[in-house]
Structure 1
Amino acid sequence: MPPVLLPLVAGLVGAALGPWLARSTVRLATRDGTATAGRVRAALTTAVGAGVLAGAAVLVGPRPVLLGVLWLCAAGLVLAGVDLVSHRLPDVVTLPALGALLLATGVDAVVTGDGRRALDGVLLGAAAFVVAALVRWAVPAALGFGDVKLLAPLGVLLGWRGGGSLVLAGVFVGLLLGASVSLVLLATGRAGWRSAVPFGPPLLVGAAVAFAAVGPL
């Protein structure tokens, strides 16, 4: 397979899904099943979706796990958009993405014989969820339960790719981004100390940065 073919196909899939992802984002954010996305949102989602899916294909390559990674990327676009508008991370998006990623890592382990990666992903995804749940229990204002559940698929992805150190790096970058955004909003008067700040988008960006930083497989 020519090296450029897989990213090209993934990018075209992302572009084709863009309008539907944009519409899904608006409907989940507004809880209105008839809502439609504006042209700007649809175009932006299409462009970002094409770029993100193509980039994921470059980093993962032609392995079965790529299908789960692409699903998570598409779900991440929707989750980020919903969280920015309504401060929610809907289970109807997060949980299927987790299931698809787990299934894809399992198939990948069988096909490639690389079972250690799959085991690392499952264990570290569970660990990320448990630690985040404990943080929420101890300091409820620190994380929403949607953030806790989001860390499960992100932990699986980063654990599969680079083990515990990459999970820690992704979470650290995400929390650092979230804290930085909060400080900027406070400094500009656009939020107060008690204002809710969506942490889903920073966590997603942190995971993407950490995943990309280690380079292609």
Structure 2
Amino acid sequence: MVLLVITAAAVAYGVAAGLLLPRAAYRLSVEPDAAWHDRCPEGHPIPGWLGPSHCRGGGALSARHRYGAGPAWTAGVAGVVCGVLGGAVGGRPEAAVFVAVAPVLLLLGIVDLAVQRLPDVLTLPLAAGLALGLGGAALVPGAGGSWTGALIGGGALAGAYLLLFLLNPAGLGFGDVKLALALGVPLGWYGWGVWALGAFLGFLYGALYGLALVLRGSGGRRTAFPFGPFMTAGALTAVLLGGFGA
């Protein structure tokens, strides 16, 4: 019964947070060194950062004034991801941290898919928030991981990605290095087995996507594509398995 309540609450939170993402995703989807979008494609000012992706041109809602990702899609994905995380981790205190940051990871994925960019305004606070949140969770009885392991895991994954970036800057963005810092924290929380699995799955998912592009004739071996969503998917898969295992 308790697990059902936790899962339902996580789904409700994910849906509510997902409904707020489209406007932020559109505003953040700009090229490097460009200012955030402050107007919709129709030229109307965008009020605030959170909310659905439509504006009130002429004082009334109109389908032609919609832009960016659809709120139903973002709410659905966020609800599913948060619900699965809540159900997997259960009543352990780290569940609140993982569920809370899941919509931010979805937002990063949407932006990366749109402009192949992971904004510092999201990646760096995400890393700090995960570290602080899991530090608090470690103080609560019943925690299923290690805060020291989480901190080491974040540094280790960021270091590995930094090395790859230095070896091949054209194949990996520096934003991926900063995202690795954040993703390595929850992976390290559950130990080196989960950490290694999450790192491996990120590359595996990305490689499978690249292979699919080649087979479909949509790209070649050197075709660039956003890697952040695959890093995130790999990390989430490993954290789910770690949550079940713990």
How far, CA to CA, are the matches of 1:115 and 1:189 in structure 2?
Answer: 45
How far, CA to CA, are the matches of 1:134 and 1:187 in structure 2?
Answer: 30
How far, CA to CA, are the matches of 2:140 and 2:9 in structure 1?
Answer: 22
Matches within 5 A, 1:176-195: 176-195=204-223
What whole-Å deviation, never above 9, does each CA across 1:155-205 have from its counterpart, x for those lacking one?
1101102x1121111111111111111122123222234331111111111
Give % identity: 36
Matched, 1:211 2:239: yes
Name the residue aligned to 2:163.
Answer: 134
Measured at CA, do residues 93 and 71 of structure 1 come closer, stay the same or move farther in structure 2, by a change above 3 Å? farther
Which sections of structure 1, spanning at least 5 residues, go unmatched? Answer: none
Matched, 1:56 2:85: yes
Name the residue aligned to 2:118.
Answer: 89
Matched, 1:3 2:3: yes
**Residue-pair matches, total:** 216
1:213 shift after superposition? 2.6
Matched, 1:34 2:25: no
| TM-score (normalised: structure 2) | 0.80
Deviation above 6 Å: which 4+ runs of structure 1?
Answer: none
How far, CA to CA, are the matches of 2:143 and 2:20 in structure 1?
Answer: 34
Is the helix fraction higher in 1 or 2? Answer: 1
How far, CA to CA, are the matches of 1:71 and 1:84 in structure 2?
Answer: 22
What is the Cα-based RMSD across aligned positions, in Å? 2.1
Q: Do the aligned residues in 2 keep the contact of 1:64 with 1:104 (CA within 8 Å)?
A: no
Matched, 1:197 2:225: yes
1:113 shift after superposition? 7.7
How far, CA to CA, are the matches of 1:119 and 1:213 in structure 2?
Answer: 20
Which sections of structure 2, spanning at least 5 residues, go unmatched? Answer: 31-35, 41-52, 55-65
Matched, 1:167 2:172: no
How far, CA to CA, are the matches of 2:112 and 2:79 in structure 1?
Answer: 21
Measured at CA, do residues 116 and 19 of structure 1 come closer, stay the same or move farther in structure 2, by a change above 3 Å? closer
Q: Do the aligned residues in 2 keep the contact of 1:72 with 1:98 (CA within 8 Å)?
A: no
Measured at CA, do residues 113 and 15 of structure 1 come closer, stay the same or move farther in structure 2, by a change above 3 Å? closer
Name the residue aligned to 2:50.
Answer: none
How far, CA to CA, are the matches of 1:18 and 1:109 in structure 2?
Answer: 28
Counterpart AA for 1:184: A
Q: Do the aligned residues in 2 keep the contact of 1:68 with 1:103 (CA within 8 Å)?
A: no
Q: Do the aligned residues in 1 keep the contact of 2:92 with 2:143 (CA within 8 Å)?
A: no
- Further displaced range: 174-183 or 39-48: 39-48
How far, CA to CA, are the matches of 1:18 and 1:124 in structure 2?
Answer: 28
- Bigger-Rg structure (1/2): 2
Q: Do the aligned residues in 2 keep the contact of 1:71 with 1:101 (CA within 8 Å)?
A: no
